Structure 1
Amino acid sequence: MIMSEVTNNTARSRYEISVDGAVAGYSQYVMKDGAVVFTHTEIDMDYEGQGLGSKLVRGMLADVRERGLKMVPQCPFVKEYVKKHPEYADLRA
């Protein structure tokens, strides 16, 4: 089983997913009017096809919810994920 962790790298304005301590992917964001605007998501080619993109988005959205924020999914990957998972619809700004 792959050990991965999602963290918010506020210095770089992105959520990162790490596998065994190495950054395997990230999702860039900007803060606008109290909402997290997700602009671009990328998983390193070496880690594609392992479900890390979905795990990254789940972790990001859990953090947004925990912090009481809203989000705007501009990134196509995040937008599609939210469309397929209506349990996150309440987070839309």
Structure 2
Amino acid sequence: MSGTPEASFTIEHETSDNKGRYVVELNGAKAEMTYSKAGDAMIIIDSTEVPDAMRGQKVGVALVAKAVEDVRFSGKKIMPLCPFAKAQFARHSEWHDVLL
């Protein structure tokens, strides 16, 4: 089991030299999870914002799950400073392999 919820939306990934974000747009609303790059081996999840219009659709957990999937593929680790992301890691023991 991957821990990734069934998604009926597309997650976009944007990145720059030292920051990045995962974004979902639905019906004119936008949810995002932002992170900072800490060297070549780690990202730090800074913030997860989901508008009220998207609540209950598991958008937030899908954003964190996508970051976990990408980090796992690249061999990096995640430090979740965002309270939401930290709570998701506590609920998903299958993600602990990427947790710093």
| TM-score normalised by L of structure 1 | 0.84
Offset from partner CA, 1:44-93 (integer Å, 9 cap, x none): 22211211111111111111111111110000011010111111111012
* Counterpart secondary structure, 1:4: coil
CA RMSD in angstroms, aligned pairs only? 1.9
Question: Letter of the aligned partner of 1:29 in structure 2?
Answer: Y
Distance across 2 between alignment mates of 1:19 and 1:62 = 22
Partner of 2:15: 10
Task: State the 1:26 CA deviation.
Answer: 0.7
Give the number of aligned pairs.
91
Partner of 1:52: 59
> In the TM superposition, what are the counterparts of 1:14-93 in structure 2 within 5 Å?
14-19=21-26, 24-33=30-39, 34-93=41-100
* Higher normalized strand content (fraction of residues): 1
* Higher normalized helix content (fraction of residues): 1
Percentage of identical aligned residues:
26
Offset from partner CA, 1:19-61 (integer Å, 9 cap, x none): 37x5631111001132010010001222112111111111111
Deviates more, 1:43-52 or 1:79-88: 43-52
Task: State the 1:17 CA deviation.
Answer: 2.2
Distance across 1 between alignment mates of 2:38 and 2:73 = 18
Q: Which runs of 5+ in 2 are unaligned?
A: 1-6
